[in-house]
Structure 1
Amino acid sequence: MFNHAGDVLYVGKARNLKKRVSNYARGQGHSNRIARMIRETTTMEFVVTRTETEALLLEANLIKRLRPRFNVLLRDDKSFPYILISGDTRAPGIFKHRGARSKKGEYYGPFANAGAVTRTINTLERAFLLRSCADSMFESRSRPCLLHQIKRCSGPCTHEISDENYGKLVGEATAFLSGKSKAVQDHMREAMSAAAEELEFERAATYRDRLSALSHIQSHQGINPHTVDEADVFAIHQEGGLACIQVFFFRTGQNWGNHAYFPKADPSLSAAEVLGAFITQFYDNKPCPKLILLSELVDDLELLSEALSASAGHRVLINIPQRGEKKDLVDHAMTNARETLGRRLAETSSQARLLKAMAETFELPRVPRRIEVYDNSHIMGTNAVGGMIVAGPEGFVKNQYRKFNIRSTEITPGDDFGMMREVIERRFARLLKDHAAPEAQSTALPASDATAEESADDSFPAWPDVILIDGGQGQVGVVRAMLTELGLNDHVISIGIAKGVDRDAGRERFFVSGKPAFTLPPRDPVLYFIQRMRDEAHRFAIGTHRAKRKKEMIKSPLDEIAGIGPSRKKALLHEFGTAKEVSRAGLADLIKVEGISEALAKTIYDHFRDQ
């Protein structure tokens, strides 16, 4: 369904399209949401599939890609991290992996967050002494690294351990991650006892430390079910017009964490409708387990199972348990969903009060729905970056954050005004290109509620109501001049935040157009609110700057050569060890490297000779 502007309003499937559309055309008996959707629809487009399973998968695909306003939308769609034990080298390594599973090796997961993977890998290093270094470093080592010295790696790079014995360590790690933890621990206990009886106490101590590390992993697994080997558990709770879905991941009989989702859905939809729409989108780009446990009976359960089975390549069973351990797992997920949503409602209520108080304090025309905060970071003008963070009714909106690498060569190093001018120009020129400018805001209006149309449309706006600048009168003047040049000074309200006397927090001065600078009382909640947003912008800008600076410090001279991508760079380093050795190599030696043609070898040779 499309509106007059060509925007997709809704994507739906039906076994009989004619009946579905006829039901919409009746014009009566619809909820407010459906009635509003029908009223805004001007055209419709139909896609016929061969089977209903194909229709279900296509619906999920289109919803995720087009994000229609009247569908249930999965807001947080980032991929989950996995543990990868690589399989394309003589000594497999253990790594954290996120994204497409294109590398050779065994994958274990998903884990709920990257921190859980990092902690698990650190512990597995101590337990199984597997390497975690990059393949290029592994191939070029001439002596063991520090991890070997602190007994977190067995040193396969320099053959401190034979390939056969290292393979046994890899086998033990694979068995442990595959759920055979008890057998692995029993084997280590036997080996420790045997070493002690042979008076080889140092070897016995090594097994003791490895056993201790494994016990540490299992103590952090939470509830480990006895009757569920591989499953995802979904539980949904609705309250206050919001819905929270908790997803628990169980693999190899172990709890590998949980994640909370807050899908965008109309409050009139039932929990079963929201959960059913959520699951098809959730598994669109994620591997599906053999068992899925739900808290609600969703529509077309058999069709959903058939579609997920076709997508996963194996049979997927969907169950709504009524008793036993599986029911306990669902109840546990439901408890977490209920408590998480309660915290979210409390935070949202607090955020709404703060936004309203901010509108009253700064005499804004309406309560802001999108606030953008800008800050710059550099060291004496080097690696200069600008950062933009976004806040709204539900707190910080991190998928809207943006970073700006300062490109202009005309800016004097360290010129904060020039950097802010470039950031604002690039941000709003792009915004004008992608979205029509909003109506002008008049500060003569009272800080009233949003219009009925805005309240009806709860999608997050692209244009900011307010922008906060971390700076004083100079930075604010530059921003307003740039907005005026773009014709947007009446559309976006800009506020400057200058650090107070002696740069003390709580004594900030605020600069608003048409008003003298002023301060807020030290314990004003609005002041704390603005300080929190400014500090987040500062954190984001500094983090971006540090990442850029680190990348600059470790940049390879090979990156400067045209035609040298990651694969050829890896081949060169694999052959010569370091970039310095590549620079010393002769033309004949460069030609011998796989993937390096005679012309490219000449380019590499000339590059280093010219320097």
Structure 2
Amino acid sequence: KVTVQETWPRVFMTRRRKKDGAKYFGPYASSAAMWASLKLITTLFPLRKCKGSNPPTRKRPCLNYQLGNCLAPCVGLASPETYREHLENVLLVLEGRNKNLITRLKQNMTDAAARQDFETAAMLRDQLQALEKTLEKQLVASQNTTDQDVFGCHRQGAAVAISLLFVRDGLISGSRSFFFEDPYGDDASIVHQIINQYYDQDSFIPQEILLPLEPEEQELTTEHLRDLAKKQVHLIIPQRGNKKALVNMAATNAAQLFAKREKKEQGWQALAKTMSQNLHLDRQPTTIECVDISNTSGKKAVGALVCFQNGEPSPSRYRHYHIKTVDGPNDYAMMREVLTRRLTRGIEENNLPDLFVVDGGKGQLAIATSVARDLGVFADIDWIGIAKERAEEGEKLYRPGRKNPILLKAHSPVLLYLMRIRDESHRYGITFHRRLRTKANFCSELDTIPGIGNARKHLLLKHFGSIKRLKAATKEEIIAVPGIGKELANIIFTTLETASATNE
């Protein structure tokens, strides 16, 4: 995400696309590809890294400035012209137009050397070398420099795979895949749906979109894309030549998706079978869930449930639970409440897991199985407890009805998989708990200010992110928050300034 709508734009990873005026690039084929692009950008172009729509007011620049990774707009060291030039270069990289960027950087380097600004010329030289090294890894697709998106399609039975290649400046700069188990409509209908869903007003739309077949309503789709892109866009179904070869390459990639999915499924089935044997389960698991409890001395206590299906996380089935019936630090009682709520809902909706992983030893496992027995679903679910302590022989795992723990070696694939699930529940729970705690701390300091209700607290929290950044803000920055007028901003600024002076 590139926040082009901000005075000092930022570049960062996001999981959701919003209609907020920012430019979005992706989704990427893999997280590794996304992080590689982000690393290249943050290394080459010193845009700010701090959070929030406005950089925090500082007396001194942060460490990123000292390292040469930020222009320090927070202390007034960045000129808007230089910052905007770096932003334009970032957009060229993300759009895959690296050759255009290289031409621009070479010209800037020549100009800098001509005016004997050798420090700037050296910085531009380093940027050029890094970009050229990146380009060496990209596959040459065509001598044509027209930007292209290339779709390929492959069907096996009812399932359909779509592969999308991004060709920029004649190089394949990335890819994206789509898989449909049993889609509605024929291939032409599916390609039409993909095009309409993939491209929107925030997407980069190339001049040419190469397709394996004619989509439904081709003329209307072309007009729609031209309206979005505000330029000429052509939908092309090539019959021969280099463009046809690109579509065939995308189709081959789509076909390989089936092989990859089959291999992945076979790997999961082997692991599930081994898990069933090693843990003495009653059934081979497909759906596995794990609950984690997070709190600070009993305060802001939450339960977090994660779900894995066929070996992979299923985020749509993740759940957060606010603890409602327990006061004070009592993890057993909190576990009982969360499991009671989860299993009750599971009985109502008929979506109980095959295996439940409990983060804890005999005590936590006893609480979990007690809840299951009370609700009459103990026999419908396998239960496993991962002990906190570690034995010399290996990790201890407990099963109901077994006196001695099951011992698994540290390198066991089954243990590593269960640890992955447990760690994901920790991450999900702690992240939510910290967010609640931050919000509570923020709101508590604003409770003493007259005229600040829940709605305005939310506005301030959304804008500044923390009470620390709000305290560091100027009156003008507080006034800039939508819904906060000049008079209220003066009250907020004065109250927080007085509180800070008193604490000192």
TM-score of Structure 1 vs Structure 2, range by shorter chain:
0.7 to 0.9
Q: Which runs of 5+ in 2 are unaligned?
A: 447-453
Structure 1 residue 190 displacement after superposition: 4.4
Alignment of 1:531-542 (within 5 A): 531-542=415-426
2:217 to 284, 303, 309: 303
Do 2:386 and 2:397's aligned partners in 1 also have CA atoms closer than 8 Å? Answer: yes
Deviation per residue, 1:256-294 (Å, 9 max, x gap) = 42233332228xx9xx93574365156336437454434
Q: What's the secondary structure of 1:563's corresponding residue?
A: helix
The residue that corresponds to 2:326 in the other structure is: 410
Structure 1 residue 345 displacement after superposition: 0.9
Q: Distance in 2 between matches of 1:390 and 1:202?
A: 53
State yes or no: 1:396 paired with 2:312. yes
Alignment of 1:99-498 (within 5 A): 99-104=16-21, 108=25, 111-113=28-30, 115-138=32-55, 140-174=57-91, 181-193=98-110, 195-196=112-113, 200-223=117-140, 225-227=142-144, 229-238=146-155, 243-250=160-167, 255-265=172-182, 273=186, 276-277=189-190, 279-280=192-193, 283-284=196-197, 286-287=199-200, 289=205, 291-295=208-212, 297=213, 301-303=215-217, 306-307=220-221, 309-310=223-224, 313=227, 317-356=234-273, 367-376=284-293, 385-392=302-309, 394-405=310-321, 407-408=323-324, 410=326, 412-413=328-329, 415-433=330-348, 435=349, 437=350, 462-490=351-379, 492-498=380-386
Do 1:305 and 1:317's aligned partners in 2 also have CA atoms closer than 8 Å? Answer: no
1:516 to 402, 420, 423: 402
Aligned residues: 483
Structure 1 residue 564 displacement after superposition: 1.8
Structure number with larger C-alpha Rg: 1
Q: Distance in 1 between matches of 2:297 and 2:433?
A: 12
Q: Distance in 1 between matches of 2:355 and 2:4?
A: 49
Structure 1 residue 409 displacement after superposition: 6.0
Residues 420 and 578 of structure 1, relative CA distance in 2, 3 Å threshold: closer
Alignment of 1:49-68 (within 5 A): none
Deviation per residue, 1:426-483 (Å, 9 max, x gap) = 21233344x1x4xxxxxxxxxxxxxxxxxxxxxxxx3323323333332232122222
Amino acid at match of 2:5: G
Structure 1 length normalisation: TM-score? 0.64
% of aligned pairs identical? 25
Do 2:17 and 2:24's aligned partners in 1 also have CA atoms closer than 8 Å? Answer: no
The residue that corresponds to 1:86 in the other structure is: 4
Q: Distance in 1 between matches of 2:485 and 2:111?
A: 57
Structure 1 residue 418 displacement after superposition: 2.2
Q: What's the secondary structure of 2:307's corresponding residue?
A: strand
Structure 2 length normalisation: TM-score? 0.76
Bigger Cα displacement from structure 2, 531-540 vs 316-325: 316-325
Structure 1 residue 558 displacement after superposition: 4.3
Q: Distance in 2 between matches of 1:195 and 1:502?
A: 61
Do 1:229 and 1:254's aligned partners in 2 also have CA atoms closer than 8 Å? Answer: no
Residues 141 and 554 of structure 1, relative CA distance in 2, 3 Å threshold: farther
Q: Distance in 2 between matches of 1:345 and 1:407?
A: 41
Amino acid at match of 2:220: E
Q: Distance in 2 between matches of 1:168 and 1:523?
A: 55
Residues 374 and 528 of structure 1, relative CA distance in 2, 3 Å threshold: farther
Bigger Cα displacement from structure 2, 480-489 vs 92-101: 92-101
State yes or no: 1:564 paired with 2:456. yes
The residue that corresponds to 2:449 in the other structure is: none
Q: Distance in 1 between matches of 2:219 and 2:480?
A: 54
Do 1:109 and 1:256's aligned partners in 2 also have CA atoms closer than 8 Å? Answer: no
Structure 1 residue 321 displacement after superposition: 3.0
Do 1:120 and 1:217's aligned partners in 2 also have CA atoms closer than 8 Å? Answer: no
Q: Distance in 2 between matches of 1:229 and 1:198?
A: 35
Q: Distance in 2 between matches of 1:214 and 1:92?
A: 22
Residues 247 and 156 of structure 1, relative CA distance in 2, 3 Å threshold: same
Cα RMSD for the two superposed structures: 4.6
Bigger Cα displacement from structure 2, 154-163 vs 373-382: 373-382
